[in-house]
Amino acid sequence: MEFTTGTTAGLFIAIVALGIGGLIAAPIPMAPSTILMMVLPSMAIFGLISLAIGVKHGEHRASN
């Protein structure tokens, strides 16, 4: 599987959507608005940072 920008973005959005959907569907005492306002942005930011580090590590490994 070749990871183009579109494939990477699609997989990233799918993973975040599955996580948020699972949290909203879970029987926890947290309002969906709290999940969408606090958890979703932090999950997206952490995911983007991790993605950037992973891409840079992959570039380093490919060049050496």
Q: What is the pLDDT of residues 26-49, one digit of tens each?
A: 998 888 899 999 999 999 999 999
Q: Could you give the number of structural domains in the chain?
A: 1
- Tell me whether residue 23 is in a domain: no
Q: Give the separation between CA 52 and CA 14, rounded to whole angstroms.
A: 17
Q: How confident is the model at residue 15 (pLDDT cuts 50, 70, 90)?
A: very high
- Tell me whether residue 6 is in a domain: no
- Tell me whether residue 51 is in a domain: yes
- Tell me whether residue 3 is in a domain: no
Cβ(44)–Cβ(12) below 8 Å? no
DSSP H or E run through 53: helix 40-63
**Gyration radius from the chain CA atoms:** 15
What count of residues does the chain have?
Answer: 64
Residue 17 pLDDT > 90, yes or no?
Answer: yes
- Tell me whether residue 55 is in a domain: yes
- Tell me whether residue 52 is in a domain: yes
Which domain covers residue 46, as residue numbers?
Answer: 32-63
Through-space distance between the first and last CA atoms of the chain, rounded to whole angstroms: 22
Q: How high does pLDDT run on average in the chain?
A: 92
